[in-house]
Structure 1
Amino acid sequence: MYVKAQLLLAVSVIAAIAFVGCIYELSSGEPELGSTITWAILGVSLPACVFFFLTAVKLARASIENDR
């Protein structure tokens, strides 16, 4: 269960990087992937980041409780 939490945390970090990248691309004026796709990635990446982070923390806590 602990390894699954680590994988979810890694996905959360990737989503956070995508979120920051989208903000950078949109602020530059002309996003490489186009405005629509960049806004879509931005809209999906923030909730995904929060969801995966909270799920990873929950699984890690459960794993620690099971080890006690």
Structure 2
Amino acid sequence: MELVRGIDSDSIRQHIVRGVLAICRDLGVRVIAEGIETREERDFFAAHGVTLMQGYFFAKPAFKSIPVLNAESFQT
């Protein structure tokens, strides 16, 4: 989560994550962005093709099962 927190305003983190995402795309690896807490963090990952995300922005931790929501549910 250290790379996620504040990524919208940290160019070094952005470069690192863009590189990791490019490698994952090249290898056909699906990425799950964990620890998304703000709209800005969500927007960064969505803009870079990440469709699987979790974190407080979407829902607080729960012991019961919650429904799966797709990225389009949170488009602005």
Higher RCO, 1 or 2 (CA under 8 Å, sep at least 6)? 1
- TM (norm. structure 1) is 0.25
Q: Which structure is higher in strand share?
A: 2
Q: Which structure is higher in helix share?
A: 1
- TM (norm. structure 2) is 0.24
